[in-house]
Homo-oligomer: A and B are copies of this chain.
Amino acid sequence: MSKDPSHTPKHRRHSDQVTLSQVAKSAGVSPITASRALNNPTKVSDTTRRNVLAAVERLGYVPNLVAGSLASSRSKLIAVIVPSLINSVFVEVIKGLQETLEAEGYQILLGNTDYDLDREYQLVRTFLGWSCSALVTAGLRHNKACHKLLANWEHPIMEVMELGKGMDLNVGLDHVAAGRCMASHLVDKGYRDIVYVGARLAQDYRASMRYEGHKAVLQAHGIDAPIVELDTLGSLKAGSESLDQVFAQHPKTQAIHFANDDLAAGALLAAQRQGLNVPNDIAIAGFNGLPLGQHVTPQLTTILSPREEMGRLAAKELIRRLSGKNVVRRQHDVGFKLQLGEST
């Protein structure tokens, strides 16, 4: 069998992109040295580093991070999975994460489950496939498959929003306690006919946790704890429409404890439009401490949750873990604060 040396090799894939090898050649070093010059600058001499950087500049080299990740089975990607982008609360957490992670050179792969745990599982699968170096997810609840997948994963997992025993790291606040806190406030103020109003509680289960705390306090005082559940997700609109519904079902209502500030502010503005006096005709309380609630008159009584701070703290803990440091505490309570307005 005679070879045909003039035959063009069969496996030729083109790519006009500049590669590290080209940079290396241009700088007069081997590819691996060029790699070191870019990723472990201390491992090469000053001259070499300068030459390589000059070549990078000259050729307009853009590192292929995909190839790098495959070779090193590491990546500077961090998966962030949230249940919603409409709810500004998650966006603020993302913002906290993002500003801290991006400063350390990490990129965020963003996923939205739309409050669907099966969707979450799918996203987790996909993201693991990108060999992310960590995963941030909102909440402690996952479906079975997701749990199993994550349990065998060797990278840090950060569960945010609610405090509790998670799979790995956890930064959040105690929602049951927050519910108790607000309910106590309302009872102390002398209200007795208090309705809790939330939206899609099966999905937004943290709102249900707050209701649990709320109910416990009311029952301890021998008071009934009625709840009204809205169909639509929390929003100003839903809040403003909820007023009628509450009064229809509970005509004697003195105070409404809303699951979040969007609903509460919507109701407050609607009450004003209807000529109701807040808090004399109806007291209104929220949760989150959104700027909106602080700017309406009367100012909304709410519970401040440190959302951006939660994101920042989560990011910092992740970075500590990723840089090999021992992580002492696995759980971080960011707390909350009762913000007294004039709406109660």
Contacts and interface: CB of A to CB of B under 8 A. Distances in A.
A130 B70 contact: no
A235 B99 contact: no
Interface stretch (A109-117, A222-230, A317-325, A331-339): A109-117
A139 to B, nearest CB: 19
Contacts of A130: 65-66, 107
A21 interface: no
A98 B112 contact: yes
B112 A110 contact: no
A269 B297 contact: yes
Contacts of A102: 111-112
Interface of A: 13, 15, 60, 62-67, 69-70, 73, 75, 77, 85-86, 88, 91, 94-95, 98-99, 102, 107-112, 125-131, 148-149, 235-237, 240, 265-266, 269-270, 272-273, 291-292, 294-297
23 contacts: A13-B73, A15-B73, A60-B149, A62-B129, A64-B70, A64-B129, A65-B129, A66-B75, A66-B129, A66-B130, A70-B70, A85-B95, A88-B91, A91-B91, A107-B111, A107-B127, A108-B109, A108-B111, A236-B291, A236-B295, A270-B295, A273-B297, A292-B292
